Chains A and B, each alone.
Chain A
């Protein structure tokens, strides 16, 4: 890229407000990828919940004590919270026009989603290793 020598504007000044930081495709792709992954994961979760709906505490612990069940549940939690964060970001960016609010809300959603993902995954691991 050759810069225009007659311009006194900095490279940053020239691109500011022009939009794309080449991050949109990555967001779009991850939203689709997590969506596709969630199709089988969600079906599995619903089947598990149906199985466990009337079950006792012991049955619940035994279920997630099985490595395969714990693995799929952890995958679901990680992917679902990621997908939720990506989707909430789009909604916030579409409807919150004040820049400061938009950034603040997006940061809070990110903290909440990844915090809850970590908490729930650690919970499943606690059950899996303790069973």
Chain B
């Protein structure tokens, strides 16, 4: 059909996404990830209420390489969502919408999330 040859307006796959846009979708991805991450927290807390052997089973899993990798991802997702969420709260008040301000906030959020993640793991070690 002729209608299929009509030019389409460019969509997501055509544009090179700016950092702010990538961070916007990362906010959602980390949010969904954190929802599933709370399953770990729920497992930890519930196991502890059942007793010592159940709790130590969870501790052993969390101390394994899979567990530690999950926790590393969980902690970074948490701090990213926290820092970027703060920026969203500023946006809700109509602040920091200018391009140079969003670029500066991108850097703040990324450095903040990385620093908080690193600080947490240094304290655990």
Interface set, chain B 32-69, CB cutoff 8 A to A? 32, 34-35, 38-39, 41-42, 45-46, 48-49, 52, 55-56
A127 touches B48 (CB 8 A): yes
Which of A38, A39, A54, A120 is in CB contact (< 8 Å) with B41? A120
Chain A interfacial residues counted at CB < 8 A: 31
B86 touches A87 (CB 8 A): no
Chain B proximity mask over A92-130: 1 for CB below 8 Å, otherwise 0: 000000000000000000000100100110111011000
Contacts of B56 in A (CB 8 A): 57
A124 touches B55 (CB 8 A): no
Q: Does B17 contact A (CB under 8 A)?
A: no
Contacts of A46 in B (CB 8 A): 75, 78, 120
A120 touches B42 (CB 8 A): yes
Q: Which positions in A face B, CB cutoff 8 Å?
A: 32, 35-36, 38-39, 42, 46, 50, 53-54, 57, 60-61, 64, 73, 77, 80-81, 84, 87-88, 91, 113, 116, 119-120, 122-124, 126-127
29 pairs, A vs B, C-beta closer than 8 Å? A35-B89, A38-B82, A39-B82, A39-B86, A42-B78, A46-B75, A46-B78, A46-B120, A50-B120, A50-B124, A53-B124, A57-B48, A57-B52, A60-B48, A61-B48, A64-B48, A73-B45, A84-B31, A84-B38, A88-B35, A116-B38, A116-B39, A116-B42, A119-B42, A119-B46, A120-B41, A123-B48, A124-B45, A127-B49
